[in-house]
A = this chain, B = another copy of it.
Amino acid sequence: MILYDYCRSSAAYRVRIALNLKGLAYEQVAVNLVTGEHREESHIERNAQALVPVLEDNGVQLTQSMAISEYLDEAYPQTSQLLTGSAIERAQQRAFALAIACDIHPVNNLRVLQYLVGEMGVDAEKKMQWYHHWIHTTFKALEMKLENRAAQTDFCCGDQPSIADICLVPQVFNANRFEVDMSLYPLIAAINERCLQIDAFRKAHPDLQPGA
């Protein structure tokens, strides 16, 4: 497998964790989002959306981090599953993940921030206010969800990492990078710390990737 990724892309970070958790080997090719390599013809051929990650498996190129994670579970069911349990439990794992993958990440994505500054003329302070606002809006809701769990669990949705934790850790990394006060979210912060003890998460860290 080849993973076209970029050290600072949190969508790519999710897929690195997913591949590591499932114990699948992969080669990495860095597509530099800062110098614009994602807009080059060679990358558009891989992904018309000009985004990372792209996972190539048996010559087929797959896009969208959540779709790739689901694919890994379906194509490689013999290794540790990212979604587990009943249909309801799986729906809860997906919903937790999608709250981050839909409601925080795309709104705070690099291209959106660049558009805010370039096309909308928003200044640096307001850009930062925007960034924090969308993290707080959803983290507040997720912290509430964790508080209301029927029983204390080690990870977002149970006692093993799931697709939810795969999304949480890169989002907390971004929050820390932009100095969001994580003391407001003690349950999220504790789960993040617990994940970072696990090799699959540790090895996926942005600082350890090609091009970092």
Task: Assess the B48–A144 pair: CB atoms within 8 A.
Answer: yes
CA distance A87 to B74 in the complex (A): 6
Residues of B within 8 A of A60 (CB): 88
Q: Is A119 an interface residue (CB 8 A)?
A: yes
Partner of A48, one of B64, B102, B106, B141: B141
Residues of B within 8 A of A122 (CB): 120
Interface segment, A1-9, A65-73, A189-197? A65-73
CA distance A130 to B117 in the complex (A): 12
Q: List residues 122-156 of chain A with CB under 8 A from any CB of chain B.
A: 122, 126, 129-130, 133, 138, 140-142, 144-145, 148
Q: Is A49 an interface residue (CB 8 A)?
A: yes
Partner of A91, one of B48, B67, B88, B148: B67
Task: Assess the B119–A91 pair: CB atoms within 8 A.
Answer: no
